[in-house]
Amino acid sequence: MRIRNVLLVFLGAVCVVLVVFGTVRFQGRIEAAVLPPPSEVPAGFDDETNGLVPQGDHLFHKGQFDEVEGPEDGLGPLYNAQSCRECHQSVVSGAVSQVTELRAGHTGPHGHFVAANITIGDGAFTVLNRSLVNDRAICPNADFPDLSIQEHVPPAEHIRALRTSLNILGDGFVEAVADADLLAIAAKQRHETHGEVHGQAILVDVLEAPGTKRVGRFGWKDQHASLLSFSADAYLNEMGFTSRLLPDEVTTLCNPKGVQEPNDRLGTDGLFDIDHFTLFMRATKAPPRDEPLAATLDARIGSDLFDQVGCATCHVCSLTTVPPGTKINGGTFTVPDALGNKVFHPFSDFLLHHLGTGDGIVQNGGQETAQKLRTPPLWGVRTHSRLMHDGKSLNFHDAIERHRGEGKMATEKFNALSEEEKRRLITFLKSL
Ligand code: HEC
Ligand code: HEC
């Protein structure tokens, strides 16, 4: 009798355990299965948070992004500008500016691209193997009146390129797209165009998760996948600020004494500047459409024509972010509700393409990426005065005509449109 009771209690306990675990696992599946349809991301040129952080915090992080820094804070020795905003400003902080940057290098063994070597300080130091050439320097100055460290491109560095600034608004959503979705776009476009269009995804290092890689999506060469990685990169290469992720100065010539290394300071809130920049960018809203123009018949027909001639093969209209709770960037960032399961309209596939406009520069991809560029997202493109990576196209017609290589078929179909159809397609671009 006693043994039977013990057995029953034991079996009961086993059942309870099975039911509890079963329900938990089952619920997990239900949750995945009943994930609501993705919601539209908020859009606006209004300096408002997308919901990731409260508005007050967003403005505080924006203040760090806007802050003008000096040599006493860590600026330089070589740099391009004094604040992030200087190159990401029109029409609000985080958007674009007309600024271009200089890159250089030369052809090495086997015809491979080799980044520039630039000697500065009258031969005192050589900046080795770096394609970015900084346009500004902090000396000569009162402490180093005779030391000139301004970089100049030597004749031997015969590959030279200009790159325009890029929009950052809405990039938190771009960061939250799964690698698999970008790879699926690449496969789809290759299939649908019988290989004529074959966007390339490259795997790049996530600096904050050493040893891990992710599909690159930021920068003209898809050189980064994470906004924190990009922040550290930009802080060093645009402003000369070292940080925990990139602690080495490009040169220590005329580096002011008494400035802490890494330069990036811990704020009163326990976050570093690169964390503030990242939070600012992740919390930005997407660039909004010109809604009245988008609603016109011209723009709506233009949108259809954009799809029909094949622009949308690369300038992909809609992407969806991963479900909230998904870990990305090598497990260092858990996508929150404000960024997860959202649909947005960047008009890009974030892949590298050969368009015949290539600048010959290799960054984080292999040598085969030298002549390729990332499809620039067209959201907010109506606010750009100069188009294409080099800023050399000054209107939409010019930009379209430069699409050769993988874009040739679309250009030919565009050219075959009637004048009215072309005008409508351009009207659609003006509404973005
Ligand atoms: C001197 C101008 C300049 C400054 C200053 C600058 N940027 Fe940029 N930014 C650029 C340019 C140019 C690009 C495109 C770079 C490329 O791919 O060649 C860019 C691209 C980016 C991108 C990639 C956007 C995308 O969607 O692909 C991010 C993110 C970014 N910058 C963040 C920052 C942050 C954060 C700062 C401040 C630490 C900063 N930038 C300072 C000029 C600048
Ligand atoms: C094969 C992929 C592909 C196709 C198809 C394509 N584009 Fe592009 N587009 C790109 C790439 C890559 C660039 C950047 C090239 C560069 O900077 O040199 C670009 C640049 C642009 C730009 C400049 C954006 C900026 O911010 O500077 C516009 C505008 C544009 N494309 C519109 C179109 C239109 C309109 C069509 C259809 C007629 C089209 N594209 C078809 C890949 C494509």
How do residues 63-95 score in pLDDT, each as one tens digit? 999 999 999 999 999 999 999 999 999 999 999
Bridge partners (DSSP) listed for residue 320 = 343
What does the pLDDT average to over 122-141? 97
Which atom belonging to ligand 2 lies closest to the Cα atom of 406?
1
Q: What are phi and psi of 43, to 5 degrees?
A: -130, 145
At 249, which amino acid appears? E
Q: Which ligand is nearest to the CA of 316?
A: 2
Q: Tell me: pLDDT of 299 over 50.
A: yes
| More confident site: 144 or 33 | 144
Position 32 confidence tier, pLDDT thresholds 50, 70, 90: low
Q: Tell me: pLDDT of 228 over 60.
A: yes
What does the pLDDT average to over 387-410? 98
The two tokens of residue 130 are 């770096």
Of all protein residues, whose CA lies closest to atom 11 belonging to ligand 1? 165
Which atom belonging to ligand 2 lies closest to the Cα atom of 355?
12
Q: Which ligand is nearest to the CA of 427?
A: 2
Mutation probe of ligand 2 site: the residue of 98, 375, 408, 414 with most atoms within 8 A of C-beta: 375
Q: Which ligand is nearest to the CA of 226?
A: 1
Distance (Å) from CA 285 to ligand 1 centroid: 17
Considering the domain boundaries, does residue 269 fall inside one?
yes
Q: Tell me: pLDDT of 330 over 60.
A: yes
Of all protein residues, whose CA lies closest to atom 28 belonging to ligand 2? 399
Considering the domain boundaries, does residue 361 fall inside one?
yes
pLDDT digits (tens, 9 = 90+) for 237-266: 999 999 999 999 999 999 999 999 999 999
Distance (Å) from CA 234 to ligand 1 centroid: 6
Considering the domain boundaries, does residue 8 fall inside one?
no
Distance (Å) from CA 294 to ligand 2 centroid: 20
pTM of the model: 0.93
Which atom belonging to ligand 1 lies closest to the Cα atom of 241?
38
3-class secondary structure, 286: strand
Per-residue confidence (pLDDT) for residue 2, from 0 to 100: 57
What is the extent of the structural domain holding 276? 55-430
Of all protein residues, whose CA lies closest to atom 41 belonging to ligand 2? 311
Considering the domain boundaries, does residue 71 fall inside one?
yes
Bridge partners (DSSP) listed for residue 244 = none
Structural domain count, the chain: 1
Considering the domain boundaries, does residue 406 fall inside one?
yes
pLDDT digits (tens, 9 = 90+) for 344-396: 999 999 999 999 999 999 999 999 999 999 999 999 999 999 999 999 999 99
3-class secondary structure, 79: strand
| Helices and strands of the chain, counted as H and E runs | 12, 17
Considering the domain boundaries, does residue 183 fall inside one?
yes
Position 34 confidence tier, pLDDT thresholds 50, 70, 90: confident
Considering the domain boundaries, does residue 270 fall inside one?
yes
Q: Tell me: pLDDT of 24 over 90.
A: no
Tell which residue, 332, 280, 291, 322, has the closest CA to residue 168: 280
Tell which residue, 350, 415, 82, 432, has the closest CA to residue 241: 82
Q: Tell me: pLDDT of 16 over 80.
A: no
Q: What are phi and psi of 78, to 5 degrees?
A: -100, 140
- Which residues fall within 8 angstroms of residue 411, CB to CB, at 6 or more apart? 400, 401, 403, 404
Distance (Å) from CA 403 to ligand 2 centroid: 6
Does 399 contact ligand 2 (Cβ within 6 A)? Answer: yes
Q: Tell me: pLDDT of 13 over 80.
A: no
Position 20 confidence tier, pLDDT thresholds 50, 70, 90: very low
Check: CB of residue 315 under 8 Å from CB of residue 375.
yes
Tell which residue, 417, 185, 385, has the closest CA to residue 302: 417
CA pair distance 342, 322, nearest whole angstrom: 8
The two tokens of residue 195 are 């290989």
Q: Tell me: pLDDT of 27 over 50.
A: no
CA pair distance 198, 11, nearest whole angstrom: 59
Distance (Å) from CA 336 to ligand 2 centroid: 32
Q: Tell me: pLDDT of 31 over 70.
A: no
Distance (Å) from CA 387 to ligand 2 centroid: 9
Q: Give the orientation angle of helix 419-430 with respect to helix 297-308, to 10 degrees.
A: 100
What does the pLDDT average to over 3-10? 54
Distance (Å) from CA 330 to ligand 2 centroid: 31
Distance (Å) from CA 374 to ligand 2 centroid: 9
Considering the domain boundaries, does residue 140 fall inside one?
yes
Per-residue confidence (pLDDT) for residue 4, from 0 to 100: 60
Q: What integer best gives the mean pLDDT of the chain?
A: 94
The two tokens of residue 422 are 């072309």
Which of 16-25, 43-52, 126-135, 286-295 is predicted with the least confidence, judged by mean pLDDT?
A: 16-25
Tell which residue, 70, 79, 52, 81, has the closest CA to residue 278: 52
- Which residues fall within 8 angstroms of residue 72, CB to CB, at 6 or more apart? 256, 259
> Residue holding tokens 């509890």?
20
Q: Which ligand is nearest to the CA of 432?
A: 2
Which of 13-22, 102-111, 223-232 is predicted with the least confidence, judged by mean pLDDT?
A: 13-22
